Protein backbone atom coordinates (compact mmCIF):
# COMPACT_ATOMS: atom_id res chain seq x y z
CA UNK A 1 0.00 0.00 0.00
CA UNK A 2 1.00 3.64 -0.50
CA UNK A 3 -0.42 6.20 1.95
CA UNK A 4 -3.34 3.88 2.58
CA UNK A 5 -4.04 3.23 -1.09
CA UNK A 6 -4.06 -0.39 -2.18
CA UNK A 7 -3.34 0.03 -5.85
CA UNK A 8 -5.16 -2.12 -8.38
CA UNK A 9 -3.32 -3.31 -11.47
CA UNK A 10 -4.43 -1.61 -14.64
CA UNK A 11 -3.29 -1.20 -18.17
CA UNK A 12 -0.06 0.47 -19.28
CA UNK A 13 1.24 2.06 -16.04
CA UNK A 14 4.02 4.58 -16.62
CA UNK A 15 7.53 3.21 -16.62
CA UNK A 16 9.87 4.66 -14.00
CA UNK A 17 12.66 6.90 -15.15
CA UNK A 18 15.97 7.71 -13.55
CA UNK A 19 15.81 10.51 -11.02
CA UNK A 20 17.59 12.97 -13.33
CA UNK A 21 16.12 11.72 -16.62
CA UNK A 22 13.10 14.05 -16.54
CA UNK A 23 12.18 17.35 -14.96
CA UNK A 24 10.39 17.38 -11.64
CA UNK A 25 7.28 18.72 -13.41
CA UNK A 26 7.26 15.81 -15.87
CA UNK A 27 7.89 13.39 -13.02
CA UNK A 28 4.90 14.85 -11.19
CA UNK A 29 2.68 14.28 -14.23
CA UNK A 30 3.99 10.72 -14.53
CA UNK A 31 3.17 10.09 -10.87
CA UNK A 32 -0.38 11.46 -11.23
CA UNK A 33 -0.99 9.37 -14.36
CA UNK A 34 0.23 6.30 -12.49
CA UNK A 35 -1.96 7.05 -9.49
CA UNK A 36 -5.10 7.39 -11.63
CA UNK A 37 -4.27 4.27 -13.62
CA UNK A 38 -3.93 2.27 -10.42
CA UNK A 39 -7.01 3.73 -8.68
CA UNK A 40 -8.99 0.59 -7.73
CA UNK A 41 -12.51 2.02 -7.89
CA UNK A 42 -11.83 3.74 -11.21
CA UNK A 43 -10.25 0.57 -12.59
CA UNK A 44 -13.51 -1.26 -11.86
CA UNK A 45 -15.46 1.48 -13.65
CA UNK A 46 -13.22 1.25 -16.70
CA UNK A 47 -13.24 -2.54 -16.79
CA UNK A 48 -17.02 -2.65 -16.36
CA UNK A 49 -17.65 -0.18 -19.16
CA UNK A 50 -19.37 2.44 -17.01
CA UNK A 51 -17.98 5.36 -19.02
CA UNK A 52 -20.14 7.58 -21.21
CA UNK A 53 -18.23 6.15 -24.19
CA UNK A 54 -17.43 2.65 -25.40
CA UNK A 55 -13.79 3.67 -24.99
CA UNK A 56 -13.64 3.82 -21.19
CA UNK A 57 -9.85 4.14 -21.24
CA UNK A 58 -10.13 7.40 -23.19
CA UNK A 59 -12.55 8.74 -20.56
CA UNK A 60 -10.07 7.80 -17.83
CA UNK A 61 -7.35 9.64 -19.77
CA UNK A 62 -9.59 12.69 -20.14
CA UNK A 63 -10.24 12.63 -16.39
CA UNK A 64 -6.48 12.54 -15.79
CA UNK A 65 -5.83 15.47 -18.10
CA UNK A 66 -8.60 17.51 -16.49
CA UNK A 67 -7.07 16.86 -13.07
CA UNK A 68 -3.60 17.86 -14.26
CA UNK A 69 -4.91 21.00 -15.97
CA UNK A 70 -6.70 22.05 -12.78
CA UNK A 71 -3.71 21.33 -10.55
CA UNK A 72 -1.17 23.04 -12.78
CA UNK A 73 -3.29 26.17 -13.24
CA UNK A 74 -4.21 26.64 -9.57
CA UNK A 75 -2.42 29.45 -7.76
CA UNK A 76 -3.27 27.81 -4.45
CA UNK A 77 -4.24 24.15 -4.59
CA UNK A 78 -6.72 22.91 -2.00
CA UNK A 79 -7.52 19.22 -1.68
CA UNK A 80 -11.23 19.83 -1.08
CA UNK A 81 -11.54 21.76 -4.35
CA UNK A 82 -9.65 19.05 -6.21
CA UNK A 83 -11.89 16.43 -4.61
CA UNK A 84 -14.97 18.33 -5.82
CA UNK A 85 -13.54 18.46 -9.35
CA UNK A 86 -12.83 14.73 -9.32
CA UNK A 87 -16.38 14.03 -8.13
CA UNK A 88 -17.77 16.19 -10.95
CA UNK A 89 -15.60 14.44 -13.53
CA UNK A 90 -16.66 11.01 -12.32
CA UNK A 91 -20.27 12.03 -12.74
CA UNK A 92 -19.69 13.58 -16.15
CA UNK A 93 -17.41 10.95 -17.66
CA UNK A 94 -18.58 7.80 -15.87
CA UNK A 95 -22.07 8.68 -14.59
CA UNK A 96 -21.06 7.51 -11.14
CA UNK A 97 -20.21 8.70 -7.66
CA UNK A 98 -17.82 7.09 -5.19
CA UNK A 99 -18.74 6.87 -1.53
CA UNK A 100 -15.65 4.90 -0.51
CA UNK A 101 -13.60 7.99 0.27
CA UNK A 102 -11.14 7.30 -2.53
CA UNK A 103 -11.64 10.63 -4.35
CA UNK A 104 -10.61 12.44 -1.16
CA UNK A 105 -7.57 10.20 -0.71
CA UNK A 106 -6.51 10.61 -4.35
CA UNK A 107 -6.84 14.39 -4.11
CA UNK A 108 -4.86 14.43 -0.86
CA UNK A 109 -2.00 12.43 -2.39
CA UNK A 110 -1.90 14.62 -5.50
CA UNK A 111 -1.85 17.81 -3.41
CA UNK A 112 0.95 16.44 -1.24
CA UNK A 113 3.06 15.59 -4.29
CA UNK A 114 2.31 19.00 -5.80
CA UNK A 115 3.41 20.87 -2.67
CA UNK A 116 6.64 18.92 -2.49
CA UNK A 117 7.25 19.43 -6.21
CA UNK A 118 6.96 23.20 -5.80
CA UNK A 119 9.49 22.95 -2.96
CA UNK A 120 11.88 21.06 -5.22
CA UNK A 121 11.36 17.79 -3.37
CA UNK A 122 10.59 14.76 -5.53
CA UNK A 123 10.70 12.15 -2.76
CA UNK A 124 6.99 11.31 -2.77
CA UNK A 125 6.82 11.63 -6.55
CA UNK A 126 9.58 9.07 -7.00
CA UNK A 127 7.94 6.80 -4.43
CA UNK A 128 4.67 6.87 -6.37
CA UNK A 129 6.37 6.17 -9.70
CA UNK A 130 8.38 3.30 -8.19
CA UNK A 131 5.33 1.90 -6.41
CA UNK A 132 3.14 1.81 -9.52
CA UNK A 133 5.98 0.23 -11.50
CA UNK A 134 6.47 -2.41 -8.81
CA UNK A 135 2.73 -3.15 -8.84
CA UNK A 136 2.88 -3.72 -12.58
CA UNK A 137 5.86 -6.05 -12.32
CA UNK A 138 4.13 -8.06 -9.62
CA UNK A 139 1.32 -8.93 -12.01
CA UNK A 140 1.93 -7.79 -15.58
CA UNK A 141 -0.89 -9.81 -17.12
CA UNK A 142 -4.06 -7.85 -17.87
CA UNK A 143 -7.49 -9.43 -18.33
CA UNK A 144 -8.54 -9.51 -21.99
CA UNK A 145 -11.75 -7.64 -21.26
CA UNK A 146 -9.99 -4.75 -19.53
CA UNK A 147 -10.67 -1.30 -20.98
CA UNK A 148 -13.55 -2.68 -23.02
CA UNK A 149 -17.25 -2.11 -22.61
CA UNK A 150 -19.49 -5.04 -21.76
CA UNK A 151 -20.89 -5.20 -25.28
CA UNK A 152 -17.55 -4.90 -27.07
CA UNK A 153 -16.08 -7.65 -29.23
CA UNK A 154 -13.72 -9.67 -27.03
CA UNK A 155 -12.40 -11.51 -30.09
CA UNK A 156 -10.80 -8.41 -31.60
CA UNK A 157 -7.31 -8.89 -32.98
CA UNK A 158 -6.05 -5.51 -31.85
CA UNK A 159 -5.69 -4.01 -28.41
CA UNK A 160 -5.53 -0.31 -27.66
CA UNK A 161 -7.69 2.72 -28.10
CA UNK A 162 -7.30 2.94 -31.86
CA UNK A 163 -7.80 -0.73 -32.69
CA UNK A 164 -10.01 -2.20 -35.38
CA UNK A 165 -12.80 -3.21 -33.02
CA UNK A 166 -14.84 -0.08 -33.70
CA UNK A 167 -14.18 1.69 -30.40
CA UNK A 168 -14.03 5.49 -30.62
CA UNK A 169 -10.59 7.01 -30.15
CA UNK A 170 -11.83 9.58 -27.65
CA UNK A 171 -14.34 9.89 -24.82
CA UNK A 172 -17.28 11.01 -26.94
CA UNK A 173 -20.79 10.26 -25.74
CA UNK A 174 -21.87 6.86 -26.97
CA UNK A 175 -25.10 8.26 -28.42
CA UNK A 176 -23.61 11.47 -29.75
CA UNK A 177 -22.28 12.19 -33.20
CA UNK A 178 -18.47 12.02 -33.56
CA UNK A 179 -16.72 15.23 -32.59
CA UNK A 180 -15.11 15.45 -36.00
CA UNK A 181 -18.42 15.20 -37.86
CA UNK A 182 -19.20 18.33 -39.89
CA UNK A 183 -22.68 19.84 -39.45
CA UNK A 184 -24.91 19.63 -42.52
CA UNK A 185 -26.58 22.76 -43.90
CA UNK A 186 -30.36 22.94 -43.72
CA UNK A 187 -32.74 23.60 -46.60
CA UNK A 188 -31.94 27.32 -46.51
CA UNK A 189 -28.20 26.73 -46.52
CA UNK A 190 -27.67 27.59 -42.84
CA UNK A 191 -25.36 25.53 -40.65
CA UNK A 192 -26.08 25.08 -36.94
CA UNK A 193 -22.95 24.80 -34.80
CA UNK A 194 -23.30 22.88 -31.52
CA UNK A 195 -21.83 24.49 -28.38
CA UNK A 196 -18.54 23.08 -27.17
CA UNK A 197 -18.38 20.91 -24.07
CA UNK A 198 -16.56 22.02 -20.95
CA UNK A 199 -12.86 21.44 -20.99
Q: What pTM was computed for the model?
A: 0.65
What's the confidence (pLDDT) of residue 118?
Answer: 95
pLDDT tens per residue across span 33-49: 999 998 989 999 999 99
- Mapping DSSP onto H, E and C, the string for the chain reads CECCECCCCCCCCCCCCCCCCCCHHHHHHHHHHHHHHCCHHHHHHHHCCCCCCCCHHHHHHHHHHHHHHHHHHCCCCCHHHHHHHHHHHHHHHHCCCCCCCHHHHHHHHHHHHHHHHHCCCCHHHHHHHHHHHHHHHHCCCCCCCCCCCCCCCCCCCCCCCCCCCCCCCCCCCCCCCCCCCCCCCCCCCCCCCCCCCCC
pLDDT at 182: 41
Write down the pLDDT at residue 6: 52
100-158 pLDDT, tens per residue?
999 999 999 999 999 999 999 999 999 999 988 887 776 544 333 333 333 444 444 44
Select the more confidently predicted residue: 188 or 91.
Answer: 91
Give residue-wise pLDDT tens across range 47-100.
999 998 889 999 999 999 999 999 999 989 999 999 999 999 999 999 888 989
* pLDDT on residue 35: 94
Amino acid sequence: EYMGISLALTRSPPKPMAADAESIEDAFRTAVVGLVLQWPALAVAVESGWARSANAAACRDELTEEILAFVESAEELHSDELEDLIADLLGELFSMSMDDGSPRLVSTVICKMRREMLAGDRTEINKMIAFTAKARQARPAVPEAFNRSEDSDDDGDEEGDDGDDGEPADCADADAAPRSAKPEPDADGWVTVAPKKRR
